[in-house]
Structure 1
Amino acid sequence: MHLVASAAAPQKPDGGIAGWATGLVETLGGPGAGLAIALENLFPPLPSEVILPLTGFAAGQGVLSLPSALFWTTLGSVVGAVVLYWIGASFGRERMHSLWAKLPLVKASDLERTEEWFSRHGTKAVFFGRMVPVFRSLISVPAGVERMPLRVFVTLTALGSLIWNSALVMAGYWLGDRWDVVGDYVGLASKAVLALVAVAAVTWTIRRVRRSARSRDAR
């Protein structure tokens, strides 16, 4: 069944990521939506704020059922996250420390504090990180590096992803042919997160440079 069932029905996307995701859902149904979200985890430029509402819109048009949309998109999120987890696990803690030691302006103690923080708050980071644009994908890598128990990681990822996916899929389902409005708002949130990260990174770098300069002057 096509997303456009009649002349009165809304026009389906005919290009770009939305058109690609539409083709997957129309051709493969729920598994197509799951595949799109799995790829979104591995390649963040593929935006979930487009794929998920579009999947909800497709469910509203009868292309797939709403439970199928939620099941397959959540499964896709978990599969993509597990791949990134194993990338982090394969890279390993020793390689991370070796690479960190070669970076300018950083100290081994910085990484050690990060590891201690993740040990204390890693479960919350993985769970809530699945609901934060940009960090949805990134949080899986340190979980792998720190070898969080896979069963715990999968459970937290599935629960966090189900909440995020349900919100965006249901929004697309209810909004109908206005599903793309969701992407506008989530896109703004993503840009805000990136801006905050950039400001934090610049602030940290400036402080570290000044601290290094004071240390040299004190010698």
Structure 2
Amino acid sequence: MIKKFLFALLFIFSFSALKAAPTESIQSATDTLSVIQHIEEWYKNNTNYYTVTALMACESSVLPVPSEMVIPPAVYIAMDPDSNLNIWLIIFFGTIGALIGASFNYLMAKWLGRLVIYKFADSKIGKSFLLSSEKIMKAETYFNDHGKTSTFVGRFIPVIRHLISIPAGLAKMNYLSFALYTVLGAGLWNCILALLGYLAHGQQDLINKYSHQLSYVFIAAGVILAGWLILKTVRRKKK
């Protein structure tokens, strides 16, 4: 997930560079659009509150759609004077989508039970969704160790983020408590992602000039974060 986060940042940098490029050069390269340009064009033509809600619902369910590729680009587009999108509504609908996807995982786990969930995770279909019994076990262990608040804190942890709803369902956690912690966690996470998209637009000239150097900064931050998570896991196992 950290790699996806870094890729999302690089995606935003590419967004800025394309915005700053002369119109003539972009037009002349229409027949050889890069993958990033295709993605930009798709976002421009299709990003709205419905797609943000749907994509974030997928992100919080078993579908591997990273939120880092949904909220920041949507906010970036909202900063365009010609856009009808509102940043606060992007955060709102993104959070609603996260609750919908998390509720799907919660209800699925609650109704199907642990045995079926673990078998599904190790099936071909489950693996195509990047699931595994090890990931489910990791999320369930985290939930058991941290209780109800794990549905809030778990929204900020890679891998755990979109799976924490499953152990909540397996434990038959009170749904209102589950929904409250999910909305709070997802809402705060979406605010962070929205800030990322806002800064990408607000500091466009700076990013265009120093995007290469900034990418190393974010990579270093990702390595530090990964190291901290590994150290925390090792210490917990020792205890």
Common fold by TM > 0.5: yes
Confirm whether residue 68 of structure 1 aligns to residue 102 of structure 2: no
Report the Cα offset of residue 45 of structure 1.
3.5
Unaligned runs of 5+ in 1: 100-110, 208-219
Report the Cα offset of residue 193 of structure 1.
7.5
Give the aligned partner of residue 34 of structure 1: 53
Report the Cα offset of residue 25 of structure 1.
6.1
Instruction: Please give the alpha-carbon distance, in whole angstroms, between the structure 2 residues aligned to 1:137 and 1:88.
Output: 13
Report the Cα offset of residue 185 of structure 1.
3.7
Does the 8 Å CA contact 2:155/2:186 hold for their aligned counterparts?
yes
Confirm whether residue 83 of structure 1 aligns to residue 120 of structure 2: no
Does the 8 Å CA contact 2:109/2:117 hold for their aligned counterparts?
no
Does the 8 Å CA contact 1:21/1:33 hold for their aligned counterparts?
no
Instruction: Please give the alpha-carbon distance, in whole angstroms, between the structure 2 residues aligned to 1:88 and 1:43.
Output: 11
* CA offset digits 1:72-130 (Å, max 9, x no partner): 1111111111111112112225767999xxxxxxxxxxx9xx78x84673221111111
Identity between Structure 1 and Structure 2 (%): 24
Match of 2:42 among 13, 18, 23: 23
Confirm whether residue 188 of structure 1 aligns to residue 207 of structure 2: no
Instruction: Please give the alpha-carbon distance, in whole angstroms, between the structure 2 residues aligned to 1:152 and 1:73.
Output: 20
Does the 8 Å CA contact 1:133/1:193 hold for their aligned counterparts?
no
Report the Cα offset of residue 144 of structure 1.
0.5
Does the 8 Å CA contact 1:53/1:172 hold for their aligned counterparts?
yes
Does the 8 Å CA contact 2:47/2:74 hold for their aligned counterparts?
no
SS for the counterpart of 1:135 is coil
Does the 8 Å CA contact 2:156/2:189 hold for their aligned counterparts?
yes
User: CA-atom RMSD, angstroms?
Assistant: 4.3
Give the aligned partner of residue 48 of structure 1: 67
Match of 1:154 among 173, 179, 182: 179
Report the AA paired with residue 90 of structure 1: W
Distance change (3 Å), C-alpha of 1:29 and 1:89: same
Instruction: Please give the alpha-carbon distance, in whole angstroms, between the structure 1 residues aligned to 2:157 and 2:192.
Output: 13
* CA offset digits 1:175-200 (Å, max 9, x no partner): 21559979x94893698289839x75
Instruction: Please give the alpha-carbon distance, in whole angstroms, between the structure 1 residues aligned to 2:94 and 2:67.
Output: 10
Give the aligned partner of residue 123 of structure 1: 148
* CA offset digits 1:35-61 (Å, max 9, x no partner): 111112234642222222112211212
Distance change (3 Å), C-alpha of 1:120 and 1:29: same
Instruction: Please give the alpha-carbon distance, in whole angstroms, between the structure 1 residues aligned to 2:161 and 2:60.
Output: 7
Q: How many residues align structurally?
A: 182
Does the 8 Å CA contact 1:33/1:73 hold for their aligned counterparts?
yes
Instruction: Please give the alpha-carbon distance, in whole angstroms, between the structure 1 residues aligned to 2:154 and 2:59.
Output: 15
TM-score, normalised on structure 2?
Answer: 0.59
Higher radius of gyration, 1 or 2: 1
SS for the counterpart of 2:162 is helix
Report the Cα offset of residue 23 of structure 1.
2.6
Unaligned runs of 5+ in 2: 1-15, 27-32, 121-136
TM-score, normalised on structure 1?
Answer: 0.63
Report the Cα offset of residue 163 of structure 1.
0.4
